[in-house]
Structure 1
Amino acid sequence: MNALVSKLALAVAASGALVVTLAGCAGPPSAGQPVPAPPGSSVPERTSDPTPTSESAAPSLASMSPCDLFTEADERELEVTENEGERQVGTGRACRLVTKAGNTGALIRTNTGLDGVPAGEGLRSITVGSHEAKIWGNTATSACTVFLGVSESSRVDVSAVDRQGNVEESCALAERTAELVEKNLPES
């Protein structure tokens, strides 16, 4: 059993890096308190929601910024206090959002699909919109990740950490975020 948990932990290392990024260093900030971006970094301004004008103009997941997976309406629904923009995390590209409920974000992975997430204790299959997905709540870190399958070779990992350190609430935030992200995924 410990070997399965270890395999799962290794397989989600990049997601774990996103969770560490989401969690911060000194513990969760108080509710509604934004976390400052690192010195010298900037948060890109969004001028419009990502809406393709035709089928041929539809973006591919590889060409999208992970922050494009969140519309302005999504950010309002999640009560985002800060969008920290895109950053490289391992082999993926991540977008971190600070919300009143906790930290959440999306990690685009174009080098592995759902098959890259090994079976392990607590990992279960779910459906998010029209996409197959898996969810895993990490009781050791109180973080939760929804692995959203996009194609055989790509997925979006949506992670969340609740401000109170409650894994069930982290999973609720991750699932709610994944539902919003799923609506903005390109056709595969």
Structure 2
Amino acid sequence: MDSRIAVIGLAAAAFFAVTACATIEGKPSPNAGAGTPPSTSTGTTPAGAPAALDDADPCGLVTAEDVERALGALDGEPRRNDLGTARSCEYEVDKRLLVVDIRTNVGLTGVNATGPVTDLTIGGHPVKAWVSQGGTCFVVLGVTESSRVDITAQPKTGTQECGPAQRLAELVEPKLP
């Protein structure tokens, strides 16, 4: 946990000192919960997807091998690190921290974004994406009205890109109910 706090602190300090722009493809929208909320479905779930997120393991939503194929070699083993109500799995790729959080107590309407929000769809799931002032990229996949999966990517010092977070979200999405 100390390394995660250190990475977040260093990243925030670096990006407050440097002005940069990031682009997330899609159409920005106000973060007022407007629009159609994600619907719940009683249909079938994709192969390999848990029936519900209640018992899902965040490190089981994507394999280390899939992460390496999509993003590059891992700097160590994936780490389970639950914080608050989120069940989390951390991956470090090329000195960049990527986190998969499962939240079963809040859906997309509970997103508290710190920057302009872009509404997207990945697979069949609605998504809200944004970049914080510190440069952290958030890609949040809605699963039900009361559950979601948050993907975050901490920036490397001096960079700001959201491609890794979006690629990780694209790997996780097929495993969601």
Q: TM-score, normalised by structure 2?
A: 0.68
**Equivalence for 1:158:** 151
Amino acid at match of 1:24: V
Name the residue aligned to 2:165. 174
List 4+ stretches of structure 1 deviating above 3 A.
25-28, 118-121
CA positional deviation for 1:25: 6.3
1:146 matches 2:146: no
User: What SS does structure 2 have at the residue aligned with 1:183?
Assistant: helix
Q: Is the 8 A contact 1:23 1:161 kept in 2?
A: no
Match of 1:73 among 58, 62, 65: 65
User: Matched residues, percent identical?
Assistant: 35
Matches within 5 A, 1:6-155: 21=4, 24=7, 27=10, 52=48, 58-77=50-69, 78-79=71-72, 80-100=74-94, 102-118=96-112, 121-139=115-133, 141-155=134-148
1:38-81 deviations in whole A, cap 9, x for unaligned? xxxxxxxxxxxxx74xx9xx442110110001124312222222
Give distance in 1, aligned partners of 2:9 and 2:108: 32
Give the letter aligned to residue 66 of structure 2. Answer: D
| AA in 1 matched with 2:62 | F
Q: Describe the SS at the equivalent of 2:129.
A: strand
1:82-134: per-residue Cα shift (whole Å, max 9, x none)? 23421211111110000026211100000010011157641121111111000
- Match of 2:149, as an amino acid? V
Residues 89 and 101 of structure 2 are in contact (CA less than 8 Å); yes or no, is this contact kept in structure 1? yes
CA distance in 2, matches of 1:173, 1:131: 18
Could you say which structure has the higher helix fraction? 1
Q: Which runs of 5+ in 2 are unaligned?
A: 12-46
Count residues in correspondence: 139
Give the whole-Å Cα distance in 2 for the aligned partners of 1:120 and 1:100: 26
Query: In 2, Cα distance between the equivalents of 1:22 and 1:125?
Result: 29
Provide the alpha-carbon RMSD of the alignment: 2.7
* 3-state SS of 2:164 partner: helix
